[in-house]
Amino acid sequence: MNKYVFCFALLTGIIGSTNLSAQGYEIKVSIKNSKDSICLLTKYTWEQPYKVDTAKVDKNGNMVFTGKTPLEKGIYSIYSPKKSALYFDLIVNESQKFTITTDTVNFYDKMKVVGPKENTDFVEFVRFMGAKNMERMKYEKEVRAMKTADSTKLLQTKTTGLFKDIKAYQQDYLAKNPNSYIATIIRLQMDNDVPNAPKGIAAADTAIWKYQYYKNHYWDGINLNDIGTLNTNKIFADKLKRYFEKVLIQQPDTLAKESDIVIGRIGNNKETFKWVVHNLTYMAESSKVMGMDAFFVYLVDKYYITGQAYWLDEKQLDKVIKRANILRHLLIGKKAQDLRLADTSGINPLKKMGIDTISTSEELTKKYYANQAAIEKMLVSMYNIKADYTVLVFWDVDCGHCKKEIPVILDTYHKLKKEGTSLEVLAVYTQHEYGKWKNFIRDNKLDWINVADAVHLNNLKEKYDIFSTPVIYILDKDKVILAKRIGAEQIEDVIKMFEKKKKK
C-alpha cells in the first residue's frame, strides 16, 4: 500500500453541506496499473467509513463517480474493495467536477489534479506530511541500529525538529489561505500556542491561567456550523472527544456548561448537532468517572425529552429516557430511595404466608394487604438505620466476585467501627435461595444488617440499577448518596475522605 496512506492517519472526521451547484458532481479518476473492476467513493460517519458511490473501472484504470445531487463538503476516499484498501483521500468542496490521475506505485507522488486548486494544495499537504513521517521512521531505524544509550534522546530531538517543521508549514499555509477548507483541517489538528501569563498573575496561579487560556481558545477559528468541519474523517471526532474527556475537568456541571457552549456554536447544522449530541450522550453514559451519569441525565433532559433527538424512533427514544429516569434518582447528592426488606428472621414466617410461591403482582398485592400488619413488623427500613455512614451492598451468594468483595467489606467494617466511625452495612441479597444465603452469613460471620427482598416490594433492578453484583453505595446519615459503584477496597478511603471534610 502507498506509504502516504499511513501518514494521513495523522491528519484524518465526517458529514457536511455548503451552497453547492445544483449540477451535482463528476469526479473522474484514472489509476495507472489498477487491477480493480470497481472502486468505491467513501467517507466517514463519525468514526466509521461508509460507501457514497461506486464506479466501474476500465482496463486502463479509468472510472467516473457521478451524481445529480451535490456531495456534502468534506474529505472523501477512493477505496478498493478487491484489496480492502484505502487508496487515497481527496477534498470535495464547492467545485465538484474535477479529474485525478495517479499510479498504484505511489498514489500521492504521482498524483495530478485538474480542477480546484484546493485539491492540488491538499495533495502537496499530504506529500509534505508523508515526507516528514518517512524521515522520522528512517531516522528511528538508524538510531535503533546504533544501540547507543542516548538513542531515545536523539529520537526525541529529531521528532521535536520535525514537529517544528510541520508547524511552520501549517502556520504558513494558514497565513496565506485562512478561509480554505484545508485551513479547517489544519486548525482541527493544531494546538493553539499558549502565551506567558500576564504580569501581575501570581506564580502559583500561572498554571491555572495557562489552562484557562488553552481551554478558552481550543475552538478558535473552527466553524462548527460548517458541515465540512464534521466531514474530516476522524479529526473532528478526535478533537471533540479530547476536549470533553481530557481537557475539561471531569465534573458533570462543567461538562454540561461546556456542552451548551459547543452545541450552541453548531447553529442550524442538523447533522453536526446529531453526531455531537449523540456521542456526548454515549460518552456520558459509558464514562467510568463516578457521578458522570448526571451529565447523561442533563443531556437527555435538554435534547431528548424535548424532542430534539430527531434521529431516534419512538422505541429508541423511550429507551434513552427510561434509562435517564432510572439514573436521575441515583445521582451523587440525591437522597437514596428507601428500601423495606426482610432480615433472616423473617424468611420462615413469610414462607408460611406463601409469599415465596406467588407468581403475579395481583396475588402479591392481595396477600400483602391480607397480612399487612404482620409483614410490616418483619421489614427493615433503610431510613431507620442510625449511623453517619451506611454502606449499601447488593450481592449474591453464587457471585464469584461477591465472594471476594464481601470479606474485604467485612474487614473494613470491623476496622472502622473499632476506630469509632459511626458506620453500618446494609447487605442486600438479590436472589431467593434463602438457605444458601443464611449458611453464607453464618459461615462468614456477617454481623451487619443482612436483608433480602423476600416480599418483592422493591424493584431493585430499576430502583438501584442492579444488573450485576456486587454493587456498593455509600450514604450519609440522611441517606444522601456520597459515592456509588465503588470497589470494596475503596470504602475506607472514601469514608475517611468525607470524615476529613466534616472536620474542616
pLDDT digits (tens, 9 = 90+) for 47-57: 889 999 999 99
pLDDT of residue 386: 96
pLDDT of residue 22: 53
Measured CA angle at 412 (ends 407, 414), to 5 deg: 95
Q: Report the greatest alpha carbon distance in the chain.
A: 89
The per-residue pLDDT for range 396-443, each reduced to its tens digit, is 999 999 999 999 999 999 999 999 999 999 999 999 999 999 999 999
pLDDT of residue 254: 97
Average pLDDT across the chain, whole number? 90
For the chain, the first-to-last Cα distance in angstroms comes to 63
In terms of Cα–Cα distance, which of 189, 211, 192, 193 is closest to 201? 211
Q: Mean per-residue pLDDT for 155-165?
A: 82
Q: How confident is the model at residue 12 (pLDDT cuts 50, 70, 90)?
A: very low
As a whole number of angstroms, the distance between CA 288 and CA 208 comes to: 26
pLDDT at 6 over 50: no
Say which range, 33-47, 114-128, 149-163, has the weakest mean pLDDT.
149-163
Q: How confident is the model at residue 362 (pLDDT cuts 50, 70, 90)?
A: confident
Give the neighbor-by-neighbor strand order of the sheet with 25-32: 62-67, 25-32, 97-103, 112-114
pLDDT at 13 over 50: no
pLDDT at 3 over 60: no
Better pLDDT: 357 or 119: 119
Residue 81 is which amino acid?
Answer: P
Q: How confident is the model at residue 149 (pLDDT cuts 50, 70, 90)?
A: low
pLDDT of residue 466: 95
Better pLDDT: 386 or 149: 386
Q: How confident is the model at residue 19 (pLDDT cuts 50, 70, 90)?
A: very low
pLDDT of residue 45: 83
**Ramachandran area for residue 420 (φ above 0: left; ψ -120 to 50: alpha; else beta):** left
In terms of Cα–Cα distance, which of 415, 414, 393, 390 is closest to 481? 390
pLDDT of residue 383: 97
Q: 414: how many CB neighbours lie within 10 A of its CB?
A: 14
pLDDT at 485 over 50: yes
Give the C-alpha distances (Å, rounded to integers) separating 263 from 120, 463, 497: 33, 32, 36
The per-residue pLDDT for range 438-468, each reduced to its tens digit, is 999 999 999 999 999 988 888 899 999 999 9
56 burial level (CB within 10 Å; 0-12, 13-18, 19+): exposed
Query: Which residues does 349 contact at the CB level (< 8 Å), separation at least 6?
Result: 374, 378
As a whole number of angstroms, the distance between CA 340 and CA 456 comes to: 10
In terms of Cα–Cα distance, which of 453, 399, 395, 402 is closest to 427? 395
* Percentage of the residues of the chain whose pLDDT score is greater than 70: 95
pLDDT of residue 17: 35
pLDDT of residue 498: 96
440 burial level (CB within 10 Å; 0-12, 13-18, 19+): buried
Q: How confident is the model at residue 89 (pLDDT cuts 50, 70, 90)?
A: very high
Q: How confident is the model at residue 502 (pLDDT cuts 50, 70, 90)?
A: confident
